[in-house]
Structure 1
Amino acid sequence: MTIRFIPSARRLLLAGAAALAFTLAGCAGPQVQDYARETPQLDLREYFNGDLVAHGLFTDRSGAVKRRFTVKMKGTWQGDQGVLEEDFLYSDGQTERRVWRLQRGADGRYIGRADDVVGEAQGEAAGNALRWRYTLRLKVDGSTWDVQFDDWMFQMDRQVMLNRAAMSKFGIHLGDVTLSFQKL
């Protein structure tokens, strides 16, 4: 059996295929290289060196604020190797500590490790932006979840950096973390 398209059906099919291609291309999202010309130029070795403080919040997928926190940080670097110590204080009084071990690689790439990160965090910087992708092991209601983070940082000036991270599990969006960093 042969299927034959009449010219108007063929045009409709081609138009539908083109619309699908444009839709899928729009879903690709921003890439770190999109920010290559933005300033100030982000260098993690410079920005995360010394004492910093961050204020943040977690919002669920509906946008409701579920948790607020403050993070005191201290970064130290020796060449391309860095350590970033983070001490979290949540609005409910809970505390948490994370120590990142960072490695600067070629072409704006970074690798990060921490005790509650599954495997390695992979990062790429260009211009004023850094994109981190990693899996964080979180304690949730007495169990442990491995949650994926798509984490974007944007250096605003020498003192301030903004951070937005989308959290997901099995591809389902759970919520977002928003932070404002300040160098002390």
Structure 2
Amino acid sequence: MQRRLLLLGASVVGAAALTGCAGPSIDDFAGQKPALDLRTYFNGTLDAYGVFLDRSGKVARRFTVVMRCTWEGEEGVLDEDFTYSDGSTEKRVWRLKHLGNGRYSGTAGDVVGTATGETRGNTFRWGYTLSLPVDGKVYEVQFDDWMYLMDDRVMLNKAVMSKFGVRLGEVMLSFVKRPA
């Protein structure tokens, strides 16, 4: 009897631990306002301000981004110019496709394969693998990107970067849409 209770207790604790590790679902944001339409928000010029935090939470790098975004029908281009606090620069051009029902796919030169994402309410979840050069080597790291529309001009972004399921750090970013 005690053994059964011990096994039951261990099962409950294990299930609780697994449930506690579960993250949010995109469906959790279905009713949130203002409603996000990527084709509307990412259309025009945006400025972004961000930091990369290492595993310990220390700011490892600061950066700004100027994004020039256009859409033709269901296809969009996000042309991003990064400037880092050390003076280095980087360019990324995303090619997005609206697949209907809030779903999107995208490609970029340093993205491995195709990124996928979807919107619900005010939120966009975007997942992709990025080829990241570090100290002369290139690593493929996964990004779990969550974007939250605050109003018609401001969106907040938090992305967790991992490799083999191990969290390497995160990126925090704020987008500000320039007036038309």
- TM-score of Structure 1 vs Structure 2, range by shorter chain: over 0.9
**Which residue is equivalent to 1:53?**
47
Aligned-partner SS, 1:120: strand
Which of 67, 70, 73 is the aligned partner of 2:64?
Answer: 70
Counting only pairs closer than 5 Å after superposition, residues 4-19 of structure 1 correspond to structure 2 as 7-19=1-13
1:106 corresponds to 2:100: yes
Q: Aligned partners of 2:56, 2:137: CA distance in 1, in Å?
A: 23
Q: Aligned partners of 2:22, 2:106: CA distance in 1, in Å?
A: 24
* Runs of 4 or more consecutive aligned structure 1 residues displaced over 4 Å after TM superposition: none
Deviation at 1:121, TM superposition (A): 0.6
Q: Aligned partners of 2:170, 2:20: CA distance in 1, in Å?
A: 21
Q: Aligned partners of 2:164, 2:5: CA distance in 1, in Å?
A: 38
* 1:122-152 Cα deviation digits (max 9, x unpaired): 1011011111110000111111111110111
Q: Aligned partners of 1:67, 1:12: CA distance in 2, in Å?
A: 48
**Which residue is equivalent to 1:130?**
124
Q: Letter of the aligned partner of 1:20 in structure 2?
A: G
Q: Letter of the aligned partner of 2:7 in structure 1?
A: L
Root-mean-square deviation over aligned CA pairs: 0.9
Q: Aligned partners of 1:172, 1:14: CA distance in 2, in Å?
A: 30
Identity %: 60
**Which residue is equivalent to 1:82?**
76
Which of 160, 163, 168 is the aligned partner of 1:169?
Answer: 163
TM-score, normalized by length of structure 2?
Answer: 0.96
Residue-pair matches, total: 178
**Which residue is equivalent to 1:4?**
none
**Which residue is equivalent to 2:172?**
178
TM-score, normalized by length of structure 1?
Answer: 0.94
Stretches of structure 1 lacking an aligned partner (at least 5 in a row): 1-6
**Which residue is equivalent to 2:151?**
157
Aligned-partner SS, 2:141: strand
Deviation at 1:15, TM superposition (A): 2.2
Aligned-partner SS, 1:110: strand
